[in-house]
Structure 1
Amino acid sequence: MRLLFDLFREDYRGPLTNAVEAHDFDQVELLLKSDTGNDKQSDDDRTLAMRTAVENDDIKMVDLLMGNGVKANVDDFITAVQQNNTSILELMLLDGYDINDLGGDDLPPPLTFAVDNLELVTWLLNHGADPNRESIYGWTPFSFAVANASREVIELMLERGASVKIVQLLLKDGAPVNTIQHIAHPFALCVFELTGNGTPLHLATSDRLIKLLLEHGADPQIKNTLGELPRLKLRPLKASL
């Protein structure tokens, strides 16, 4: 949906979008008051107007559009997530946006797009984001986090109810259990070497997760880049495992 929108973006453009870009609040309000919203061009223009306001981090314009019945869609919410604009996200939620709406046919909800930002992940979880919300293909924000996020983000999601079942599925599909983190990316390996790049067993944060990795062949004798073995005696996190 998002790619299609961007491809035909200029076809959506109308006087409302132009007024939003010009930061002409009076003209925007006039157009919204006089717009019956009964034709496709008008609907497309309203869609692009909202996207433009969000992309510009224009919270006053977003508020004006919402106050006149223009609804944010999932792509608008994802855009605000990617721009780390929690003020606009807050407005959208107050306007009734579902924080767990799917990001597309093959994508989980917007929390997925925040996994590289611990502070934003915390904010979204505090506002009801579900780390276990599945796409039609079974992907969840937590599954993306397991593959891409920091240990802190993964731990936080587990604390907030992320299911370890996704780890079971990844292991079943042959995910490597003894690969050193960043080993395929020499620059990243060098940058993070002093923090102790390790295997998934070094990152495991609960007894159940440790047991699961060991059952799938994780080697407890592999050291991280600091020469440390995995710590196998951990207090389980308060997570829904």
Structure 2
Amino acid sequence: MKEGANPFLEGLQLPLHIAIRDNHAEAAVTLIDQGVPLSQHMFLHATRLKSYVILKAFIHKGWDINACLDYWTPPALAFALDDETSVNWFLENGANPDAQCDSGCTSLSMAVKVAPIETIKLLLSRGGTIKHGWLLHYVAMRELADCLEVLDHLLGRGLLVNNVMYKALGTGTGSALHFAAGRGQDPTGQLAIHWAQNRDYESVVDFLRPLSGFG
């Protein structure tokens, strides 16, 4: 047990987990207000359930909405991208689309991979920038039909084509597990066009080839 921890409150973490899991907002808020220790996993679970009352209780207790789950996982906004109401709620409560985990991934990174283009434009208008998050690499993994439209939009905002992923981090250790799990590809040190080639995204490759200088 951590020094200074309250054994009684520590013992209430499981009931809080259950209350959040079952979306019992009143019980969860009561436990949070009593000072039961909070965790990223609890906040993420409430995010996925769109439990705004519970999420607000976290924030009232001083929870950092831009905290990351772990080295590879960006803040909770990245898990709210499937719903415009959720995205707006997070933005209105201080979420930063550019907040990044230690690996450099941001909520905007995940948005350019999986979210509707309207959501991407919203994040770019609310603090998201093209300077962080290896956006071109993530949009190269986008499997939606509007991939080229998103690419064109980002390039139109000045996104550089030939940035090498992880160059700024100095290492790519573990990146294959996070970014290409189960695909047998190691993206360490690759350009976005190489990522697209590895995934047989020919339309993306054709789009990027003249811009990348590969003829």
TM-score interval for Structure 1 and Structure 2 normalised by the shorter chain: 0.5 to 0.7
Deviation at 1:109, TM superposition (A): 0.8
**Preserved CA contact (<8 Å) 1:151 1:203:** no
The yes-or-no answer on 1:47 pairing with 2:16 is no
Paired with 1:62 and 1:82, the residues of 2 have a C-alpha distance of: 15
The structure with the largest alpha-carbon Rg is 1
Paired with 2:98 and 2:52, the residues of 1 have a C-alpha distance of: 22
Query: What's 1:112 paired with?
Result: 78
Paired with 1:175 and 1:116, the residues of 2 have a C-alpha distance of: 16
The yes-or-no answer on 1:142 pairing with 2:90 is no
Greater helix share, structure number? 1
User: 1:55–1:120: structure 2 CA closer, same or farther, 3 Å change rule?
Assistant: same
The yes-or-no answer on 1:72 pairing with 2:18 is no
Q: Aligned letter for 2:38?
A: A
Deviation at 1:211, TM superposition (A): 7.2
Deviation at 1:207, TM superposition (A): 7.4
Query: What's 1:208 paired with?
Result: 156
Q: Aligned letter for 2:70?
A: G
- Aligned residue pair count: 164
The yes-or-no answer on 1:99 pairing with 2:47 is no
2:157 is paired with a residue of what secondary structure? helix
Paired with 2:113 and 2:138, the residues of 1 have a C-alpha distance of: 13
Deviation at 1:175, TM superposition (A): 6.1
Q: Aligned letter for 2:25?
A: I
For 1:80-91, what aligned pairs fall within 5 Å after superposition?
Answer: 80-91=46-57
Paired with 1:63 and 1:85, the residues of 2 have a C-alpha distance of: 11
Paired with 1:151 and 1:112, the residues of 2 have a C-alpha distance of: 15
Q: Aligned letter for 2:15?
A: A
1:128 is paired with a residue of what secondary structure? coil
1:100 is paired with a residue of what secondary structure? coil
For 1:167-178, what aligned pairs fall within 5 Å after superposition?
Answer: 169-171=134-136, 176=140
Deviation at 1:92, TM superposition (A): 1.4
CA deviation string 1:70-93 (max 9, x = no partner) = 132211111111001111111111
Query: What's 1:162 paired with?
Result: 128
**Preserved CA contact (<8 Å) 2:139 2:147:** no
CA deviation string 1:20-39 (max 9, x = no partner) = xxxxxxxxxxxxxxxx9655
CA deviation string 1:90-110 (max 9, x = no partner) = 111112111111112321111
Paired with 2:146 and 2:26, the residues of 1 have a C-alpha distance of: 46
Deviation at 1:147, TM superposition (A): 0.6
Paired with 1:203 and 1:153, the residues of 2 have a C-alpha distance of: 14
2:127 is paired with a residue of what secondary structure? coil
User: 1:105–1:176: structure 2 CA closer, same or farther, 3 Å change rule?
Assistant: closer
Paired with 1:65 and 1:198, the residues of 2 have a C-alpha distance of: 44
Query: What's 1:128 paired with?
Result: 94
Please list every run of 5 or more consecutive structure 2 residues that lacks an aligned counterpart in the other structure.
Answer: 162-191, 194-202, 204-215
What TM-score does the superposition give when structure 2 sets the normalisation length?
0.64
Query: What's 1:25 paired with?
Result: none
Query: What's 1:11 paired with?
Result: none
Deviation at 1:126, TM superposition (A): 0.7
CA deviation string 1:100-146 (max 9, x = no partner) = 11112321111111111111011101100011111110000000111
Query: What's 1:190 paired with?
Result: none
Please list every run of 5 or more consecutive structure 1 residues that lacks an aligned counterpart in the other structure.
Answer: 1-35, 183-196, 218-222, 224-241
**Preserved CA contact (<8 Å) 1:107 1:139:** yes
